[in-house]
Amino acid sequence: MENTNLPSDHLPILFTDQSGINHEGIYNSAIRAFVEKTGDEGPEDSGISYAAEEILEWEYLDDQASFDSDIMIIL
């Protein structure tokens, strides 16, 4: 993986697998895997999981990357 840091848990990301295919999803630290988003059915609608070692690169999909996932920002 080019970016050796792992993303924050459950934030929207775009990740590329070893075949060069891009996927949208989240990183799940509990299973140390990137999980592809498959639909809008909710958390129970999980997609295919890719072990962190199978991912070439990843990036956040929006500006949430700059926020600590443990801190709630109230506007």
Q: How confident is the model at residue 65, as a pLDDT? A: 47
Q: How confident is the model at residue 60, as a pLDDT? A: 96
Q: What phi and psi values does residue 33 have, to the nearest 5 degrees?
A: -145, 155
Q: How confident is the model at residue 70, as a pLDDT? A: 53
Cα→Cα distances 39→6, 8, 33, 46, 49, Å: 23, 21, 18, 8, 14
- The answer to whether residue 24 scores a pLDDT higher than 90 is yes
**Rounded distance between C-alpha atoms, residue 57 and residue 21, angstroms:** 11
pLDDT digits (tens, 9 = 90+) for 35-75: 998 766 555 556 799 999 999 999 999 855 444 555 554 55
**Rounded distance between C-alpha atoms, residue 20 and residue 54, angstroms:** 11
Q: How confident is the model at residue 62, as a pLDDT? A: 80
Report, as an integer, the average pLDDT of 10-26: 95
